[in-house]
């Protein structure tokens, strides 16, 4: 009886593995793009270093000293993004990402108002 349980368990694990590998829900490789951009201060128009740009809550990049960032392999379609930086209000919006075509986001942050 024990060999039978082992076989049933083995078949069940193989079935589970084959279902988990189904990639129908994933976009095709051509369905991705690179998003580049610059984050600047809304008053001084100077670059904001250290800002965290997040796309679809999982893809992130931090701006360099020139306020620039790059995020690779962003799925095509409508992408929600947010930008956070110390001393600035959070910026949230969305952009249409076209497959295989680099997207450029030029983002302007508003300084937090002091109470």
Nearest to 71 by CA among 41, 34, 96, 101: 34
Residue 98 reports pLDDT greater than 90: yes
DSSP 111: B
Residue 93 has pLDDT above 80, yes or no: yes
Comparing 12 with 70, the larger pLDDT belongs to 70
Say which residue the tokens 């368990």 belong to: 9
Average pLDDT over the chain, rounded to whole?
Answer: 84
Phi-psi category of residue 93: left, alpha or beta, with phi > 0 → left and psi -120 to 50 → alpha: beta
The domains of the chain are located at: 29-109
Share of the chain above pLDDT 90, in %: 70
- The arithmetic mean of pLDDT across residues 29-47, rounded, is 92
In this structure, whether the domain defined by 29-109 belongs to CATH 3.40.50.300 is answered with no
Whole-prediction pTM value? 0.73
CA 36, 42, 47: angle at the middle one, nearest 5? 50
What Cα–Cα distance (Å) separates residue 74 from each residue in 29, 53, 90, 94?
11, 13, 21, 13
- What integer pLDDT is reported at residue 6 of this predicted model? 56
Rounded distance, CA 38 to CA 67, Å?
5
> Which pLDDT does position 25 carry in this prediction?
53
């Amino acid at each position: 009886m024990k060999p039978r349980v082992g076989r049933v368990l083995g078949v069940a694990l193989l079935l589970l593995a084959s279902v988990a590998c189904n990639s129908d829900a994933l976009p095709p490789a051509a369905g991705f793009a690179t998003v580049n951009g610059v984050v600047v201060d809304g008053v001084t128009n100077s670059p904001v270093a250290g800002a965290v740009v997040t796309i679809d809550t999982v893809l992130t990049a931090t701006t360099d000293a020139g306020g620039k960032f790059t995020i690779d392999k962003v799925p095509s379609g409508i992408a929600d993004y947010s930008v956070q930086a110390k001393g600035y209000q959070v910026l949230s919006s969305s952009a249409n990402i076209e497959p295989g075509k680099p997207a450029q986001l030029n983002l302007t942050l508003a300084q937090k108002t002091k109470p």
